[in-house]
Amino acid sequence: MKKVMFLFVAIATFFSSSLFAAVPISKNDKISPVDEIWMDMAVTVAKVNVEEGGIPCGSVVVFNGKLQSSGQATEKATSVETAIATSKLRTLENAVIYTVNEPTAEAYNAICKAKADAVYFVNPKDKVIAAGVQSAEAYDENKLDGTLIQVPVRQMDYADAVALLKK
């Protein structure tokens, strides 16, 4: 895990420079290059989790444009919950979460409680369920806490994340 965190810090430091500040976004682009960088980090966390015998789930929390934390799925928590817990922030206002798979009901409740600004994911719940990564019960909408302020959830295309479900 220390290797993964070192890798993330090194990558975040490199990419947080003004290197990508001048990258133009055309009307044909669906996401920004910066979003791709953060999603790539979430995919890397998921790959490491698979290498360590876990499931292909990984998330990163980006606070004010900088990597705050990452999380892998464990027996006790989703990758999103782990990333939120390790962020050590009181609130995730001004933070964006990038996660490989659509958040489960439990993870979405944690996101809303933390008051994140937005969530980006790649693999939709139907594909995650079909791959056996999560159960349909994990996405039961009856488990969503309707008293919480909803956080926008956006799906993006990212081939490396899709490939994780095919392994």
Q: What is the pLDDT of residue 88?
A: 87
- Sequential pLDDT tens for the chain (167 residues): 545 454 444 444 444 433 333 334 344 446 688 999 999 999 999 999 999 999 999 999 999 999 999 999 888 888 899 999 999 888 899 999 999 999 999 999 999 999 999 999 999 999 999 999 999 999 999 999 999 999 999 999 999 999 999 86
H-helix or E-strand spanning residue 105: helix 105-114
In angstroms, how far is the first alpha carbon of the chain from the final one? 22
Q: What is the pLDDT of residue 3?
A: 52
Q: What is the pLDDT of residue 30?
A: 61
Q: What is the pLDDT of residue 13?
A: 42
Is the separation of the CB atoms in 10 and 59 below 8 Å? Answer: no
Q: How many H-runs (helices) and E-runs (strands) does the chain carry? A: 6, 5
| Count of beta carbons in the 10 Å neighbourhood of residue 89 | 17
**The tokens 């922030």 sit on which residue?**
89
Pick from 61, 80, 66, 63: which is nearest to 128 by CA? 80
Is the separation of the CB atoms in 165 and 56 below 8 Å? Answer: yes
- The rounded distance, in Å, linking the Cα atoms of 47 and 45 is 5
